[in-house]
């Protein structure tokens, strides 16, 4: 759960700076999403299949490098990895800006993805915040992603109208350089890099994570969700321009109000899942909305119906994008949150890559209708997999610091091992930390005594 204790000045500064850095980077990635399908046609050698590859290819290098770079930052420090990642991202953006061929843009996008620093940013957030503030800090950084998407949907078409794809990619590179300045001037230095079981990837836990059936369902879900995001944006901009006659420099006037309205559309699903305990029903409604949205967005029924389909799509996407990582955190074994989320992110970016490629091939084979039908079919295949998922029990996670004295530490471990309500327990001696997953209603929090002087105190994560 989120603690009511306020952040201190260092934590507020750190979170604000890292959220801004994250925002600058994601803004550049999101800006090109509704543009490449339209503007890349002007590039030499462009075909629908290659345009789809250009849209999704950044996800390939993101997927391959996200976890390794996060682990590298545990060894060499956060700053070198972040500086290298932002520099590579900026270089890839400038390569794409100078490209006159579709192959050049693909190379630039591949390099953009190689600047895979999301997991390192989250690890740095953990380094710079106290344990009891970490969940709150992660949530605040996460908000920057949604904010970036809303700004990018409006800003991207405006920049493209003024200077085409070169201006958009140059602006993306410029924001990466601005992120480097934020990193150097505003982010406090870390004296000691720590491995955080709830944030970083633990190599020894990777196999256990991959074999967990419930986590596999969630990983498949985020793969599908981002497949749909990339594939849909191969077709949707073309429907707006070609079938509905909306000029490309006015597309933001369609996207932005629909995106804002979709935020309101999320609340009934959140209430259904969280307050009424109908999680599977909310997931099912969200996935069915994705299916219907693609069928309504073909453009054959006019702009109003297209906007309704787009609203259903954004509502479902935003809800599922928020719900799935929360379910990962609730479903994962004790101490495996960071590893599980690292694997989850890998599946997410793989979905983006495959979605872009598949969307481009479908466009080349059968036009925009084939793209949207493909998206509807893939979403429909996801439905039974999601509904077969086991609903997480009412469990809570606790992080407990072990005392330095080995005898006292063993006494603490013995008490916790025999405690009623403990579902899972992971001891990380190199961190002097115990991760617990307990039944929230059955576990006696008093067993976590003797308190902060000896143990670092019980640190609730979420319920």
DSSP 81-148: HHHHHHHHHHHHHHHHHH--BHHHHHHHHHHHHH---HHHHHHHHHHTS-GGGHHHHHHHHHHHHHHH
The pLDDT value given to residue 289: 97
Walk along the chain (463 residues) in steps of 10 and give the mean pLDDT of each run. Answer: 67 87 82 92 94 95 91 87 95 96 97 89 81 73 77 87 94 93 87 60 81 91 96 95 92 90 90 86 95 95 96 93 84 78 90 96 96 97 90 72 78 77 76 75 64 38 35
The pLDDT value given to residue 450: 45
Structural domain tally of the chain?
3
pLDDT tens string 425-449: 778 776 777 777 777 667 766 666 5
Q: How far apart are CA 355 and CA 213, in angstroms?
A: 23
The pLDDT value given to residue 322: 83
**147 & 182 share domain:** yes
CA distances from 220 to 26, 99, 252, 291, 310 (A): 23, 34, 31, 17, 23
Residue 208 included in any domain? no
The pLDDT value given to residue 411: 78
- Is residue 127 a contact partner of residue 188, using CB atoms and an 8 Å limit? no
Q: Decide: helix, strand or coil at residue 395.
A: strand
**448 & 348 share domain:** no
Q: How far apart are CA 187 and CA 177, in angstroms?
A: 15
Residue 138 included in any domain? yes
The closest alpha carbon to 125, from 205, 35, 193, belongs to 193
In 239-336, alpha helices (H): 252-270, 279-296, 303-331
Residue 314 included in any domain? yes
Bond preceding residue 450 cis, omega within 30 of 0: yes
pLDDT tens string 137-150: 777 777 777 788 88
For the record, the structure tokens of 432 come out as: 């002097």
Residue 206 included in any domain? no
Q: Name the domain boundary from 365, 392, 419.
A: 392
For the record, the structure tokens of 393 come out as: 């029990």
Domain with 408 in it: what CATH number? 3.30.70.100
The pLDDT value given to residue 316: 94
Domain with 234 in it: what CATH number? 1.20.1250.20
- Is residue 320 a contact partner of residue 221, using CB atoms and an 8 Å limit? yes
Q: How far apart are CA 259 and CA 282, in angstroms?
A: 20
Q: How far apart are CA 463 and CA 446, in angstroms?
A: 17
For the record, the structure tokens of 240 come out as: 């707006």
**48 & 137 share domain:** yes
The pLDDT value given to residue 141: 77
Residue 95 included in any domain? yes
**Secondary structure tally for the chain: helices H, strands E:** 16, 4
- Owning domain of residue 450: 395-460
């Amino acid at each position: 759960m989120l603690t009511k204790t306020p952040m201190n000045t260092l934590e507020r500064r750190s979170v604000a700076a890292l959220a801004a850095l994250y925002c600058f980077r994601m803004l550049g990635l999101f800006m090109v999403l509704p543009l490449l399908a339209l503007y890349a046609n002007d590039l030499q050698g462009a075909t629908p299949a290659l345009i789809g590859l250009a849209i999704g290819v950044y996800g390939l290098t993101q997927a391959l490098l996200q976890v390794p770079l996060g682990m590298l930052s545990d060894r060499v420090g956060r700053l070198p990895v972040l500086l290298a990642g932002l520099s590579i991202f900026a270089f890839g953006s400038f390569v794409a800006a100078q490209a006159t061929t579709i192959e050049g843009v693909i190379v630039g996008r591949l390099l953009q993805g190689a600047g895979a620093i999301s997991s390192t940013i989250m690890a740095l957030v953990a380094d710079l915040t106290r344990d009891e503030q970490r969940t709150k800090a992660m949530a605040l950084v996460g908000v920057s992603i949604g904010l970036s998407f809303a700004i990018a949907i409006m800003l991207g078409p405006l920049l493209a109208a003024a200077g085409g794809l070169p201006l958009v990619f140059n602006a993306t590179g410029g924001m990466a350089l601005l992120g480097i300045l934020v990193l150097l001037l505003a982010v406090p230095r870390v004296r000691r890099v720590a491995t955080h079981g709830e944030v970083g990837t633990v190599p020894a836990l990777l196999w256990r994570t991959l074999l967990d059936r419930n986590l596999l369902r969630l990983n498949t879900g985020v793969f599908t969700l981002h497949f749909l995001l990339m594939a849909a944006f191969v077709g949707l901009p073309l429907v707006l321009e070609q079938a509905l006659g909306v000029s490309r420099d006015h597309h933001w006037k369609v996207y932005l109000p629909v995106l804002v309205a979709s935020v309101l559309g999320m609340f009934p699903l959140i209430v259904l899942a969280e307050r009424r305990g109908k999680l599977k029903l909310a997931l099912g409604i969200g996935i069915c909305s994705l299916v219907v949205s693609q069928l309504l967005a073909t453009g054959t029924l006019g702009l109003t119906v297209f906007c309704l389909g787009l609203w259903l799509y954004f509502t479902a996407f935003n809800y599922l994008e928020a719900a799935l990582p929360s379910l990962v955190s609730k479903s994962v074994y004790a101490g495996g949150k960071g590893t599980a989320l690292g694997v989850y992110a890998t599946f997410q970016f793989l979905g983006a890559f495959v979605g872009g490629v598949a969307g481009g091939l479908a466009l080349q084979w059968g036009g925009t209708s084939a793209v949207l039908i493909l998206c509807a079919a893939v979403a429909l295949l996801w439905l039974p997999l999601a509904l077969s998922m086991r609903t997480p029990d009412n469990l809570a996670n606790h992080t407990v610091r072990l005392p330095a004295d080995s005898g006292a530490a063993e006494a603490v471990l013995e008490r916790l091992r025999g405690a009623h309500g403990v579902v899972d327990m992971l001891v990380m001696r190199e961190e002097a930390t115990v991760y617990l997953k307990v039944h929230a209603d059955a576990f006696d929090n008093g067993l976590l005594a003797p308190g902060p002087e000896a143990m670092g105190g019980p640190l609730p994560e979420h319920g």
